[in-house]
Structure 1
Amino acid sequence: MRSYLTGPARPGSLALAAALLLLAGAGPAVADDGRPDRDFTIGDPRITESSGLAASRVHPGVYWTHNDSDDGPYVYAVDSRTGKTVATITLRGVGEPRDVEAVSIGPDGDLYVGDIGDNLDGAWDHVWIYRFPEPDTLRDAAVTAVQYDVTYADGARNAEALMVHPKNGRVYIASKNEGGGGLYEGPARLSTGSANVFRRVDEVPWVTDGAFSPDGTRLALRSYFSAREYAFEDGRLGEDRAVAAPFQRQAESVTYTADGSALMFGTEGARSGVVRVEVDGGSGSGSGPSAGSGKGEEAGEAAGGGGQGNGEGGDAALWAVAVAAVAALWFALKRRRRGQG
């Protein structure tokens, strides 16, 4: 039985969560000894609303990302060793992007960019997916992308998560709703000749991004305050387990490393940090928090399993201060309510 950790929250809970985010989000992640696929900071001043992440299949340690909106048809390749942008891709042959929220890589080596956001929850009668081959050489370039029209069988909705299955190439979208959204399955092959209808096949929590593991057997979904990893088989979600996702100021993105050993969690903001979290069953090694470790749910819910940075024990003091500050705020709010009563 799957448990959903997100949903409508009372104002007091939201105030506490916001306070904890401000306190715990101090300081961006930094590169770890120049190794790839470690915590890093996106240093490009143009990238202030990183809303999606995808690990390159061609260039080890490189991650594709993009801004949320009001940026134009751009996709950026960022080297996790340095945090520097090593390529800017300008998409040609597409309309003016409205609300780009996700990026994923298919088994054909193509990048799929999801212009699927709809903050008015149904203002757009269709959304778009842009598709282009991942370049063999990392340099600034303009590429012609294929544009697909997308509609939902049960009506327009907001979404921030687009995932391409790494084995069969089918595209999935997870809608975003405080009370829980849906997992939508696209047609077996996307078409440019007509709208591609996505149909609801399962229920999901409040989702801001998602990603398939490289072997396609797991699907990770994250929200602002937690993350879960689901077994995935025959197009449906199976058993799930908590992942000790970091608490970030505006938790917007997630992807698996190319070898499937860890998840990389990103956030919006200037010089935003990307944090590595090991996962059980991955092929890599490390000492970070893992899904199903017994600490995942507690960390993902209460403190995010860590904060920005490299996950070392030196963060304990910061967390102690954060918890104390939130507790103080809580009691102050209670006293204020009594005074108004």
Structure 2
Amino acid sequence: MVSKSPESSQFSKWVMMVSHASRTASEDGLGVDAPPTEPVHYSDAHLMGIVSDTSITGTSGLCSSRIHPNVLYVHNDRGDNSHVYALNGMTGQLMASIKVTGASNYDWEDIACGPCGGGQEGHCIYIGDIGDHSGSGARDIIYKIREPAVLPSSPRHDVKVRVDGELHFTWNPPGLDADTLMVDPQGVLYVITKAPNGHGQVGAIPPHSWTDSDTPVHFTNTLTLPITTSDPGPLGGDISKDGRKILIKTSNQILYWYVPIGVSYLDVLSKNPVAVPYEHQIRGQAVGWDQNGQGYYTLAEGWRQGLYYYGQI
């Protein structure tokens, strides 16, 4: 069930909740209190708005700003000219276009927001050029850019942000396709391959890898996700800002893992997940937590797609 009416009291309640939650996270710089050990419950989909800007036609990744309340960063799949777009999470309207200089979009498949890692302070955006370009082979590159402290007043004026780091990695065996990139609060990156049955391989990249980014990271010991899908997957994922929750998206589901204190992410991902609400969208790939992990967003590839929000209840 989808709530689509902005005039409805239920919709207004969720709009107020999203706005308040994002302000709180921005003001105190922290996530929400640790969630319970049992999975929390989330609402059915609420349509926040239609992403109608003609620049955004193939969204395959989404993450929430760590600086700006109610701002979501998205990007197009392969073929775009190396842009990240800032959306208003309350309406889906384009707020800013970020031109990433020093990078090319061969097959950008996911994006993650988190700490800069590698001994650096501040907030960064990680861009996964990890897809295989429809069978042409993957480049297996992760670009790191610093999140802009200020966004322009007009979406028609690009903010130019130069790549702050470029990291290469390889799979064993090489040549695997991937659609999912996540980052935890310690700056560890997780890349997950796309497999015909959903049994993707999870590789972890420690933050110190950025200090010697000229040397590729070789994934030798990976985890196989304990999920089964009818279509290739997974297609995207995200870790909440506080690090306590994981979402991974398949073609027909969104899967949730809770992360207890002291348990590694790979150990958590080795357990069976719980399915949470999802309004099915054709070519739906992007999923991301809100700024403080109290709800999540989804957005599909294509022009004029609906931006959906699922709030904690």
Structure-1-length-normalised TM-score: 0.68
Q: Which moved more, 1:196-205 or 1:260-269?
A: 196-205
Q: 1:186 to 1:51 in 2, by over 3 A?
A: same
Deviation at 1:174, TM superposition (A): 1.0
Please say if 1:42 is aligned against 2:12: no
Residue 164 of structure 1 corresponds to 183
Cα offset, 1:153, TM superposition: 3.3
Matching residue of 2:88: 79
SS at match of 2:115: coil
Change (3 A) 1:222 1:200: farther
The unaligned stretches of length 5 or more in structure 2 are 20-45, 117-122, 153-157, 228-232
* 8 Å CA contact 1:30, 1:273 repeated in 2: no
Within 5 Å, which residues of 2 pair with 1:219-258? 219-232=246-259, 233-236=263-266, 237=269, 238-258=271-291
Which letter does structure 2 place at the counterpart of 1:150?
A: F
Kindly state the Cα deviation for residue 188 of structure 1 after the two structures are TM-superposed.
3.8
> Which has a greater percent of strand?
2
CA distance in 2, matches of 1:198, 1:216: 23
Opposite residue 248 of structure 1, the aligned amino acid is: Q
Number of matched pairs: 253
Partner Cα distance (2:192, 2:205) in 1? 11
Is the aligned partner of 1:208 residue 2:235? yes
Say if 1:119 and 1:141 are closer, same or farther in 2 by CA, change over 3 A: closer
Q: Find the counterpart in structure 2 of residue 314 from structure 1.
A: none
Closer, same or farther: CA 98–29 of 1 in aligned 2, 3 Å? farther
Q: Is the contact made by 2:66 and 2:114 (CA closer than 8 Å) also made in structure 1?
A: no
Aligned residue number for residue 110 of structure 1:
124
Amino acid of the structure 2 residue aligned with 1:161? T
Q: 1:119 to 1:177 in 2, by over 3 A?
A: farther
Aligned mate of 2:140, from 111, 127, 131: 127
Matches within 5 A, 1:257-268: 257-268=290-301
Structure of greater Rg: 1
Whether the 8 Å CA contact 1:254–1:265 is kept in 2: the answer is yes
Greater Cα offset, 248-257 or 190-199: 190-199
Equivalent residue for 1:151, pick from 155, 170, 173: 170
Q: What code does the residue aligned with 1:235 have? A: Y
Highest relative contact order (Cα 8 Å, sep 6+), 1 or 2?
2
Closer/same/farther in 2, CA of residues 50 and 120 from structure 1, 3 Å limit: closer
User: Is 32-41 or 108-117 further displaced after alignment?
Assistant: 32-41
Range moving further from structure 2, 27-36 or 204-213:
27-36
Return the offset for 1:246. Answer: 1.3
Partner secondary structure for residue 75 of structure 1: strand
Residue of structure 1 equivalent to 2:244 = 217
SS of 1:154's partner is coil
Cα distance change on mapping 1:217 and 1:92 into 2, 3 Å = same
1:93 is matched with which residue?
Answer: 102
Larger helix proportion, structure 1 or 2?
1
Report the RMSD for the aligned CA atoms in angstroms.
Answer: 2.5
